């Protein structure tokens, strides 16, 4: 698709100006409500959680499972309507559980929800949803309890609507995978253009929010898995500092890089969800780390004047220049940042960027931690399922006609050859990642320019899906923050031929308040220029 000259609004100059017809007209009004607007309507009695959840369940049937067939929702909670009715009854009695009372949320299907397997029963009244990581090997295998972050969602009053599809095993099974595909959920596609990638690995979480199937979703990220699909699908994603949100009950890749985080249509909604998710967990050592800074309400940092006096750096080397279309929109965004009071420091480069791009230290860390962390996780599930990585490899070989149809399991096989977290090779690789990402990377760039944040294009516009060759990705923003364990916020900054582009705000550890402040102020300035690109559900072969 040729890149059109981008505009400062949400659509390129060559975009079709005709109104986009929603594929589910009867639920379009419900889809337009963000979490903040929905809470206001609940409080005013203008709608109920029962009505809203019913509309979204109908929308899932009409858009996700038929019609455009986005395939972003892997499973719907059979108790969702009952939970919505309970939240309404509580509100009628004057009881509001918390900031998400009655608000529907989707949870990525690598996050545990209580499930008793195929016994015909559920593990608790709020259960009934399996956790598969997209793999047939875990389908039907019981999970003993909700992950702590799911417990926090329910305590805040959220209605867990269902589980979002994902790139199987969070995109760590093969180096030539196709993002958005899982054997359990099928291929999740981008609602803006159905032959384009929704990104990985939180594909379903981002695509569902973009399509208006839920106002909020939880994703997880190891390196790009929240910010990539959020950028490609034109929504907001926050990848928190590792240790801000519990990983207990989350199918792991890497304890040094994994983190759950929010996906939403606005920065304020993402900040709202982050406050619910953030919390210490004695079973997750990273959340008990000295110096940890967490808030129960991140919406307090959403200030329209948040750019005034800020110092923002542009790390051109290695983190710009891989996509002319993304660069053009990001340049317009930078001019908007300056117009709203920020001082922009150009060429605020990471001293380690070349070494980051050439080093294999991250893959060594991920491969080693994956085997150790996954086997610890599997041991906590019931014995009906696989217990080791070797058993998973054997399962995939035995079910190759369904599991290995499009790509293999080379990363699983490489992880089998690792020697554990006491291996000096791993220890040195982890030390290298910390040095490259932190002291010689993000912190060095921030310190040299006395900067509040670094800004860059998040990812290029969505690429065409290729089940033969896998993802074709020329560059991205995520790796320095991933190996550092640092936060990233991505916000839509326009679109090229209807394909969204995100702007990434990157900071040091625990800098979520600053990043949210900057991202929110940018979002308000961007919104003043015109509405964002809405999903067009453009069929394959068009454009």
Active site residues: 108, 201, 225
Burial of residue 82 (number of CB atoms within 10 Å: 0-12, 13-18, 19+): middle
Chain position carrying tokens 């640092």: 486
Q: Which two tokens stand for residue 205?
A: 């979480």
With H, G, I as helix, E, B as strand and everything else as coil, classify residue 413.
helix
Q: Indicate if the alpha-carbon torsion angle 483, 477, 150, 207 is positive or negative.
A: negative
Strands (E), 330-452: 343-346
Residues 6+ apart with CB under 8 A from 460: 322, 323, 325, 326, 473, 474, 475, 476, 501
Largest CA distance in the chain: 61
Helix (H), strand (E), coil (C) string for 44-108:
HCCCCHHHHHHHHHHHHHHHHCCCCCCCCEEEECCCHHHHHHHHHHHHHCCCCCCCCCCCEEEEE
How far apart are alpha carbons 158 and 160 in whole angstroms?
6
Centre a 10 Å sphere on the Cβ of residue 390 and count the other Cβ atoms it contains.
14
- Side-chain-side CA neighbours of 171 within 13 Å: the count stands at 29
With H, G, I as helix, E, B as strand and everything else as coil, classify residue 202.
coil
Q: Tell how strand 453-457 and strand 499-506 pair up.
A: antiparallel
With H, G, I as helix, E, B as strand and everything else as coil, classify residue 176.
coil
Cα 314 vs. chain centroid, distance in angstroms? 23
Q: Tell how strand 343-346 and strand 236-239 pair up.
A: unpaired
Helix (H), strand (E), coil (C) string for 238-300:
EECCCCCECCCCECCCCCCCCEEEEEECCHHHHHHHHHHHECCCCCCHHHHCCCCCCCCCHHH
In the chain, what is the straight-line distance between the N-terminal and C-terminal CA atoms, in Å? 6
Q: Which two tokens stand for residue 181?
A: 């595909």
């Amino acid at each position: 698709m040729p890149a059109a000259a981008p505009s400062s609004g949400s659509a390129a100059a060559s975009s079709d100006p005709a109104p986009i017809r929603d594929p589910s007209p009867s639920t379009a009004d419900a889809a337009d409500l963000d979490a903040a607007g929905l809470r206001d309507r609940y409080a005013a009695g203008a709608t109920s959680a029962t009505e809203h959840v019913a509309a979204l369940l109908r929308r899932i049937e009409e858009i996700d499972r038929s019609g455009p067939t986005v395939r972003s929702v892997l499973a719907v909670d059979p108790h969702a309507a009952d939970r919505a009715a309970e939240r309404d009854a509580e509100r009628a009695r004057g009881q509001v559980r918390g900031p998400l009372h009655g608000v529907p949320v989707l949870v990525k299907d690598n996050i545990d929800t209580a499930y008793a397997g195929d016994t015909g029963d559920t593990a608790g009244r709020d259960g009934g949803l399996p956790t598969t990581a997209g793999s047939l090997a875990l389908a039907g295998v019981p999970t003993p309890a909700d992950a702590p972050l799911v417990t926090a969602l329910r305590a805040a009053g959220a209605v867990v609507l269902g589980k979002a599809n994902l790139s199987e095993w969070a995109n760590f099974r093969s180096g030539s995978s196709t993002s958005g595909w899982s054997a359990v959920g099928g291929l999740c596609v981008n609602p803006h253009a159905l032959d384009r990638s929704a990104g990985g690995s939180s594909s379903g979480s981002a695509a569902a929010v973009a399509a208006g199937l839920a106002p909020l979703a939880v994703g997880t990220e190891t390196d790009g898995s929240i910010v990539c699909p959020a950028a490609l699908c034109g929504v907001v994603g926050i990848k928190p500092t590792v240790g801000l949100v519990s990983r207990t009950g989350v199918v792991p890749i890497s304890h040094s890089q994994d983190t759950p985080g929010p996906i939403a249509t606005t920065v304020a909604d993402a900040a709202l969800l982050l406050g619910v998710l953030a919390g210490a967990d004695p079973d997750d050592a990273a959340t008990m780390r000295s110096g940890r800074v967490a808030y129960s309400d991140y919406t307090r940092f959403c200030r329209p004047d948040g750019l005034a006096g800020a110092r923002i750096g542009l790390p051109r080397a290695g983190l710009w220049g891989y996509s002319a279309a993304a660069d053009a929109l990001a340049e317009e965004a930078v001019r908007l940042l300056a117009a709203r009071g920020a001082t922009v420091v150009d060429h605020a480069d990471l001293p380690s960027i070349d070494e980051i791009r050439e080093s294999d230290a991250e893959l060594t860390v991920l491969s080693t931690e994956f085997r150790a962390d996954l086997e610890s996780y599997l041991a906590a599930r019931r014995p009906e399922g696989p217990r080791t990585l070797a058993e998973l490899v054997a399962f995939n070989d035995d079910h190759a006609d369904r599991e290995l149809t499009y790509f293999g399991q080379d990363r699983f096989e490489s992880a089998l050859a690792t020697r554990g977290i006491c291996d000096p090779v791993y220890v040195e690789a982890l030390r290298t990642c910390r040095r490259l990402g932190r002291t010689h990377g993000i912190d060095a760039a921030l310190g040299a320019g006395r900067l509040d944040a670094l800004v860059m294009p998040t990812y290029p516009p969505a690429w065409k899906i290729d089940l033969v060759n896998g993802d074709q990705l020329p560059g991205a923003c995520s790796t320095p923050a991933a190996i550092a364990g640092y936060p990233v916020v991505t916000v839509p900054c326009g679109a090229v031929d209807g394909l969204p582009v995100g702007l990434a705000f990157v900071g040091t550890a625990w800098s979520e308040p600053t990043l949210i402040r900057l991202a929110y102020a940018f979002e308000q300035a961007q919104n003043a220029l015109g509405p964002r690109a809405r999903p067009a559900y453009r069929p394959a072969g068009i454009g």
